[in-house]
Amino acid sequence: MGENMTLRDRVIYILESRKGEYISGQDIADTCKVSRSAIAKCVAALKAEGYPISSVNNLGHSLDKESDILSESGIRAVLGDENIEIKVYKTIDSTSSEAKRAIGNLSGNAIFAAEEQTAGRGRHGKSFYSPKQSGLYFSCVLHPEVKLSDAPAITSACAVAVCEAIELATKKHPQIKWVNDIFIDDRKVCGILTEAVSDFETQTVQAVIVGIGINLTTEDFPQELAEIATSLGTKTDRCKLIADVYSRLNALCDALPDKSFMREYRARSLVLGRDIRFTRNSIDYTAKAVAIHDDGGLEVLTESGETIVLNSGEISIRL
């Protein structure tokens, strides 16, 4: 635990680290270097906030295994990493916008998370529906130290990291709709937005902001999303899910040049072998998706027999 953490955050960290176990008040007090009565007051305050904590004489305090309260200490307890900045908000315009505002003051990696976004951002200037309590919205700031030419692969790496983390948490099998939308049963459950901060003089990536929005239990979508969006349909430990996505993404970014993760990306592809539609240079095309290159480019074969490699843009799948 960092020395700058408040007593409240330290107690949450300890309870989250041993979720489901009883920890004596004296042990918590000794760890935090305060009195036992101070711990009792802190635990009472956390209960008043809504933390499902059980307190039993001669056993101590225990945070319910099913607790799903999003907090900095909860994420940190899973990561066990004191060298990352973590900020959690009840409401914010956009976690990625906050990451961009803060990036100049960051000394290393960071996570920004929120219960609700009022101006969630999607690709190509679109908004991302981000209601409170039913979704998970967070942005990771990473410093992968890779060449600018490898930057597009970060998007693919993130899609793989999110799929693996969701599958571990829910036992469901997510797929990837090119470029980086995550689908379950042909409906979107997660959107990803990646933004790189580059140094064109050295041709390197200085930092990358990866914004992730996951529909956990959302049921009422706006009319324009009702037929294309869905949710995981289950609650999950949000602190653990954020930490797992971050850890996987950070590891994949460290190994970005070898592109080994592209095998998993292709295996989870929702589009390979299927007929798709797209628009290029104001011309509408119908084509079959035949391959995904290591740089993330989508190779398609048009109805006229022309081979085209798409490196950006939107596609729709013909059902």
pLDDT of the chain along its 319 residues, tens only?
666 789 999 999 999 999 999 999 999 999 999 999 999 999 999 999 999 999 999 999 999 998 989 999 999 999 986 789 999 999 999 999 999 999 989 989 999 999 988 887 766 566 677 677 788 999 999 988 788 878 788 889 999 999 999 999 999 999 999 988 999 998 999 999 998 887 777 778 888 999 999 999 887 777 777 788 888 988 889 999 999 999 999 999 877 888 899 999 999 999 999 999 999 988 999 999 999 999 899 999 999 999 999 988 889 987 5
Instruction: Give the domain ranges of the chain.
Output: 7-63, 72-267, 275-317
Q: Domain spanning 72-267 has what CATH number?
A: 3.30.930.10
Q: What pLDDT, on a 0 to 100 scale, did the predictor assign at position 319? A: 56
| Burial bucket for residue 209 (CB in 10 Å: 0-12, 13-18, 19+) | buried
CA 114/CA 130 separation, integer angstroms: 10
Task: Tell me the C-alpha to C-alpha distance, in Å, between residue 199 and each of 133, 207, 210.
Answer: 38, 9, 18
72-267 and 7-63 share a CATH fold? no
Number of neighbouring beta carbons within 10 Å of residue 108: 11
Is residue 236 within 8 Å of residue 153, measured between CB atoms? no
Write down the architecture of domain 275-317 according to CATH: Roll (2.30)
CA 167/CA 183 separation, integer angstroms: 12
Fold of 7-63: Arc Repressor Mutant, subunit A (1.10.10)
State both tokens at 28.
């918590």
